[in-house]
A and B are shown apart, each in its own frame.
Chain A
Amino acid sequence: MDKGVGKFHYSNSLKEAEKEKTLINKYLVYDANKNQISDAWLEYARNYNIFDSKKIVKDKIVLSLNKKDLDNIKYTCWQAFFENKKLSAFEDKGIISVVGVHKVMDTVILKPNSEKTFYIIKYK
């Protein structure tokens, strides 16, 4: 695949973020019944120059998780919150990403609709 010079790339899994050395912190994903259902990863973006050399972009940070782990939710507009602050969340190619997360945020709330809530908690 053409990486696209200048385009930011993110990992599709926690393992990939570790391998790419872009991982900032691991998070655990819980449902409303406090069952851990998945993990998530806070990472820096990476991009590539025309010689395919990787650069880690430290001012682009995204918290990501795999949608397939979340109760078969097919189509929705995701909403995310830290305390009372609304964060931007979206889905792209099976990965849910939350923008505006900082390293100090220990619990991010993710809502696909009014009934369901997921808690993304920083792994100490």
Chain B
Amino acid sequence: MLTGVGEFGKTIIQGAVHGIAQGTMSMMQGGKFLIAGASGFFGNLGAYGFGKGMTNIGLGEFAESTVGTILSGAVLGGAGSVMTGGNFWEGAVIGGIVAGLNHAMHKMEAKSPKDITILNASDGAGGKGHSGLIIGNDKDGYIYIASDGRVDSSGSAWMGGKNDGDIQIFKTKQDALAYAKTKYNYDDSITIKTNSKQDLTASKRAIIQLQSNYHFLWNNCNHIISAALTGAGLSSLGGGSIVPNLNFLELKSNFQKK
């Protein structure tokens, strides 16, 4: 069907087809055609560019992986959505789904900075604490990211097993917090002002971290927070402890000093 056009041309066409498909689906669901359509189109286009770029730096295998594909599509899908006036994260999810069905991305720029809020539930994990993350702003919406342990016991009794990742999208911070508080007794938080580039790298790193297997020492809820801060270039705030409550106290103390 797509003979006679170059590889990039094929991607454009595939992107347009996916854009129309997503737009139609969105409209059938009562959403806006343009927002979902743009997310689908950019998500697809993003997946293509990402694959090329990563291959050039020797990371083609990662680019071909489901995580790489979905992530890249998600981020550019988010950009497409923002450009058409939609919720950034809503677009990211739709774009990610499209890219997951097809291939991979490039990089994007969302112009509006989104704060990173780190939540802590001091009574989580039997008093060791539990941490979650909200990234967003009132214009682009909010994403909640957390690791809630593991979904199976494919590793040992205490380690391994797929991460029980929780990713949810909201229009307002109030809704994001209301959701988070139905999951854990979050009783403290810090909010860090960031720029748009930091937000994207933070959310990407957190979601990548969430894809790896749970480990109660080396990949627990804390490591999602650390990954996000590292992604945002904020690892100087600390967060080296494996105990969420201690980690949060260290982050809070360092954050207040700054």
Which residues does A use to contact B, with CB under 8 Å? 1-8, 10, 45, 49-50, 60, 62, 73-77, 88-90, 92, 97, 99-100, 112-116
Shortest Cβ distance from residue A73 to the other chain B in the assembled complex, whole angstroms: 6
Chain A binding surface SS class? loop
Known contacts A1-B152, A6-B126; A77/B171 CB under 8 A: yes
Q: Please, how many residues of chain B have a CB less than 8 angstroms from a CB on the other chain?
A: 38
Q: For window 133-153 of chain B, which residues contact chain A by CB distance below 8 Å?
A: 148-153
B29 and A74 contacting across the interface, CB-CB below 8 Å: yes
Question: Which single residue of chain A is at the shortest CB-CB distance from B126?
Answer: A5
Known contacts A77-B90, A114-B30; A4/B182 CB under 8 A: no
Binds A, one of B49-57, B71-79, B117-125, B227-235: B117-125
**Residues of A close to B148: CB separation below 8 A:** 4, 7
B183 within 8 A of A: yes
Known contacts A5-B124, A8-B182, A99-B182; A113/B149 CB under 8 A: no
Known contacts A77-B90, A92-B168, A113-B29; A6/B185 CB under 8 A: yes
**Residues of A close to B124: CB separation below 8 A:** 5-7
**Residues of B close to A90: CB separation below 8 A:** 168, 170, 175, 178-179
Contact of B182 among A6, A45, A115, A116 (CB under 8 A): A45
Contact of A2 among B26, B29, B121, B153 (CB under 8 A): B153
Which residues does B use to contact A, with CB under 8 Å? 25-26, 29-31, 87, 90, 93-94, 121, 123-126, 130, 148-153, 161, 164, 166, 168-171, 174-175, 178-179, 181-185, 214
Shortest Cβ distance from residue A52 to the other chain B in the assembled complex, whole angstroms: 12
A2 and B161 contacting across the interface, CB-CB below 8 Å: yes
CA distance A113 to B90 in the complex (A): 14
- Point out which of A3, A10, A75, A115 has the most chain B C-beta atoms below 10 A from its C-beta: A75
A99 and B164 contacting across the interface, CB-CB below 8 Å: no
CA distance A100 to B130 in the complex (A): 23
6 example contacts (A-B, Cβ-Cβ < 8 A) are as follows A2-B150, A75-B26, A75-B94, A88-B178, A99-B178, A113-B31
CA distance A5 to B195 in the complex (A): 35
